[in-house]
Each structure stands twice: as structure tokens, then as C-alpha cells.
Amino acid sequence: MLLTITYTGENASDLGYLLFKNPNRPQTFELNHGKAYVFYPEISAERTTAALLLDINPIDLARGKEGATSGGLFEYVNDRPYVSSSFMSTAISRVYGTAMTGRADAHQALSDSPLELSATITMMPCRGEQGKLNSVFEPLGYDVKYETFVSDENFPQWGESKYVNLTISGKVRLRDLLKHIYVLIPVFDRHKHYWVGADEVDKLLRIGEDWLPNHPERTYITGRYLNRRKSLVSIAFERLTETDTTSSDILSETEEKEAVKNLNTQRLNSVIATLKNCGAKKIIDLGCGEGRLIKQLVKDRQFTQITGVDVSHVALKRANERLKLERASESMLERVNLFQGSLTYKDARFNGFDAACVIEVIEHLDIPRLVAFERMLFEFAKPPVVVLTTPNREYNTNYANLHEDDVRHSDHRFEWTRAEFQNWANKTADKFGYKVKFSDIGEASEIHGAPTQMGVFTLCV
């Protein structure tokens, strides 16, 4: 990850004095989690550029040093070494700490003056929020440009990458430019940044003192910088605005757990209500997991045949235990049936049901496998009704403690916004002769919608 700062003006090579880094001598700095290098790719009297290159060691991250994450391969294989994240902020304060204070000894006058500066931050994570780059940087006096990329040229259907190369330019003091970047990189990088503690509030208010209190996006910046920790955000707001405004959408950790539990119950209730309404008797639960839905369906005599399918043997074993099938009566065993199968292969055992449920499953499928899933379900099994739910990614911003990379579960291959889900569902319905209706599950926030989105497909006759 790379940050370059360019000064255009008279005696541009004086940038070296302001940064306290000799333009003719590349330097290396040891950090807790890797190395930082400072060098000057261009030096002239008119234009000088200083580069700060960060080389993060993912093994350090994984081995309990600063920034260690919790479990799994993600610790070793992740985007951290390649993107501009909070580690870049740490490096800025370590390497350009004096410049951030504005002290410049013999060059104090230059340091105190606004200069023609521009900064380029490469590979800055900024998922689908590019408009925010303008609303956050422009009020600080910058002209904003950014370059976007496709995720993978071989898979255009994966859409745009969440990373941008951002260039901001303006007439600002160097210390202000550094402070803006220091605070704003972690604001855009929604990956949990690890060092958020109570002292971060002090740090934010100190570094943001001259520009944050009147910034039109101060709510957004503060909430994001503090990683949406409700208690810290409230403290910061009280001190920032000297009123007790709190950001109402943000949940504390306990509230979040409770909300997830309630959401699971609400989801089951919505699915069951839909199945009852359409009069379905024979139900297949595709990707049944541990059998939570089946356990509720069993209680209702309307449902005469209940089948659960999952690819995971472990999940099926748990479902078997939850439903106590080992000790079940003949009639229960006739009514309830579990088997192992995959949702991406045509399977005659999926035929003949009145309704199929696909609850929080599609986000576990690799996007290129969705086509096979669509055909298996809508072309071959072809049940009259399909009830399908998936997370609404827009809502994630309300969760403080998301798993890696901002999806709700580490096995989620994607999470869709409401527009993305509806677009997929409408197209699929059209293609296979279904109609689809959408509804929200869980408490909706005005801006981000509800946590879960449901599509109910009915076969046109």
C-alpha cells in the first residue's frame, strides 16, 4: 500500500524539510506489523513527490501481534497487506509524526502556509460508497478524483472492485493534509480496525479539532472512525457538539446479539406465515442447516410432508438431533425426511413439493454457481412457490461487530443490496415463468432497509 504526497510550487523540494525526510536518502522504519519505506520518486524545484510504502507482514498479524484477528484462514489470507487501511494511519503518525504537529524549525513559514498539495492513496477500500469520497473530502477543500477497477476481468459479473485509487488535491497546509488522511482512511476502510479503544476518542478529537466539528459529514466520520462502537460514538458526539446527540442506528454488542436472535425468529415466522397463506402442504427446505425451520413446521398439521436437504453432513446430524428423529414415531418419520444433497445439481428428489424454502442459503453459493442453482430449482424442481431469503448488505452498517470483510458470516460469498437482490430475482422469475414479490424481515432502518430481504416466487400458470 502506497501513499504519495506531491508538492507543486516554488522550491518544491522543500517538502523534504516539512516531512523531516531527506529527499536523497530512502529510509526504512520498523513497525509492529511490518515495514514502512519513505522515498522520493520525483524531486525537482517545481514538483516533488514523497512516497510512503507500507509492507505489512500477514504472519505478524496472525500471530497475536497488534491487529490479530480471530481464527480461520482469513488471518493468513486477507487484503490487509495490499490495501490502505488503519495500518497506513499508524505508519503516517509514526513516520510523519513531526510533520503532523506542524513543527518545521527553519521552514516554519512554509509549514504554516497552505500549499498546492496532492495525495494519492492506492487501493483504498471503499465499498460502494464512492459518493462519500466527494462529500467527505470536498468540504475540506480538495478536488477529488478516483480510479475504479473491475473485480476480475475474467468474471465481469462480479462487478466493481471495492478498492479505489484516490487522489485529493487542494491548497492546504501539509499538517492538515496528513491529519485528514490519518482519520479518513480508516473511515472508508470498513474492515474492523483493531485499535479502537477509549483513547481513540481523544485522538480523533485532537486530530480533528480544526476541521471535524463543522464538517457536514461529522456524524458519518465519527461513527466510522470509532468503528460504530455506540458508547464511544456517544462520548465523541457529546464532546464534539456539546449536546447529547447519539447516532440512533448504531447497536451495542449486547443489543446486536439480541437483535440477531430476534431476527432469526422473525425470519422463521415470516416464512411460516407465507407457507400457510399459500396453502402449501408438502415443503422442501433447501439448505435446511440444523433444522430450525423444520422444527417449527412440524408443529403445524397443515404441513403433511417436510423434507430437509443440506450439503453438510454435520448440519444434517444436528438437524436429526434437534428433531429427535432417532426416537421419532412411525408417523413422524413418514412426515419428516432429511437427506444430503446439493443445490447446484438437478436432483429428482427435489420434485413434487408445493413449496421450496431457501432460507439464508444463496449467499453461501459461489456467484458462478448461481446459474446451476437457478436451473435446479426453477427449471427442474419447479415448485409452485419458492420462499427465499438473504441478507440485505445495506443494513450491515448497523452492526458494530461484523465478521471479516463486512459480510455477516465468514462463509458468505456475497451479500446483496436490495437493488441487487431484486434485480437477480426479477430476472430469474422472468426467465423461468415465475412472479416474485418482495418483503422486509426485521426492523427496518429508514436509509438502509431491513436486515433480511425475502422474495416469494409463484409459478405463473
Binding flag, residue 452, ligand SAH (CB under 6 A): no
CB of 339 to ligand SAH, least distance (A): 11
Binding-site member from 99, 184, 288, 386 for ligand SAH (CB under 6 A): 288
Q: Using CB under 6 A, count the residues that bind ligand SAH.
A: 16
Distance (Å, whole) CA 412 – CA 191: 15
CB of 433 to ligand SAH, least distance (A): 24
Q: Which is nearer to ligand SAH, 223 or 289 (CB)?
A: 289
Q: Which is nearer to ligand SAH, 190 or 364 (CB)?
A: 364
Binding flag, residue 364, ligand SAH (CB under 6 A): yes
Place of cell 510512503: 52
Q: Which is nearer to ligand SAH, 315 or 385 (CB)?
A: 315
Distance (Å, whole) CA 378 – CA 380: 6
Q: Which is nearer to ligand SAH, 218 or 364 (CB)?
A: 364
Q: Which is nearer to ligand SAH, 344 or 397 (CB)?
A: 344
Binding flag, residue 367, ligand SAH (CB under 6 A): no
Binding flag, residue 388, ligand SAH (CB under 6 A): no
Distance (Å, whole) CA 263 – CA 257: 10
Distance (Å, whole) CA 361 – CA 289: 9
Place of cell 431476527: 263
The CA–CA distances, whole Å, from 229 to 168, 221, 248, 251 equal 29, 13, 12, 8
Question: Could you report how far apart the first and last alpha carbons of the chain are, in Å?
Answer: 56
CB of 266 to ligand SAH, least distance (A): 12
Binding-site member from 168, 187, 336, 343 for ligand SAH (CB under 6 A): 343
Rama region for 4: left / alpha / beta (φ>0; ψ in -120 to 50; rest): beta
Segment interacting with ligand SAH (CB under 6 A) among 162-170, 241-249, 320-328, 354-362: 354-362
Distance (Å, whole) CA 217 – CA 129: 13
Distance (Å, whole) CA 50 – CA 178: 13
Distance (Å, whole) CA 38 – CA 273: 62
CB of 373 to ligand SAH, least distance (A): 7
Distance (Å, whole) CA 311 – CA 284: 14
CB of 159 to ligand SAH, least distance (A): 21
Q: Which is nearer to ligand SAH, 413 or 418 (CB)?
A: 413
One symbol per residue from 301 to 340: x for binding ligand SAH (CB under 6 A), - otherwise; what is it?
---------xxx--x-------------------------
Q: Which is nearer to ligand SAH, 178 or 355 (CB)?
A: 355
Contacts with 258 (C-beta within 8 Å, 6 or more apart), sequence order: none
Binding flag, residue 356, ligand SAH (CB under 6 A): no
Q: Which is nearer to ligand SAH, 19 or 297 (CB)?
A: 297
Binding-site member from 266, 342, 396, 422 for ligand SAH (CB under 6 A): 342
Binding flag, residue 429, ligand SAH (CB under 6 A): no
Binding flag, residue 370, ligand SAH (CB under 6 A): no
Rounded (10°) CA dihedral 76, 252, 199, 129 = 60
Q: Which is nearer to ligand SAH, 186 or 451 (CB)?
A: 451
Binding-site member from 75, 129, 256, 360 for ligand SAH (CB under 6 A): 360
CB of 431 to ligand SAH, least distance (A): 20
Subset of residues 238 to 277 that bind ligand SAH, contact rule: CB under 6 A: none
Binding flag, residue 361, ligand SAH (CB under 6 A): yes
| DSSP one-letter string for 109-145 | HHHHS-EEEEEEEEEEE-TT-HHHHHHHHGGGT-EEE
Of 117, 67, 114, give the one whose Cα is nearest residue 91.
67
Binding flag, residue 289, ligand SAH (CB under 6 A): yes
CB atoms within 10 A of CB 102: 16
* Structural element, H or E, at residue 438: strand 434-441
Q: Which residue is nearest to ligand SAH (CB)?
A: 289
DSSP secondary structure letter of residue 215: -
Binding-site member from 218, 224, 292, 408 for ligand SAH (CB under 6 A): 292
Q: Return the CA Rg of the chain.
A: 27
Segment interacting with ligand SAH (CB under 6 A) among 15-23, 141-149, 286-294, 330-338: 286-294
Distance (Å, whole) CA 222 – CA 275: 44
Binding flag, residue 287, ligand SAH (CB under 6 A): yes
Distance (Å, whole) CA 419 – CA 134: 23
Binding flag, residue 344, ligand SAH (CB under 6 A): yes
Distance (Å, whole) CA 311 – CA 11: 67
Grid cell digits, residue 127: 465499498
Give contact residues for ligand SAH (rule: CB under 6 A). Answer: 287-289, 292, 310-312, 315, 342-344, 359-361, 364-365
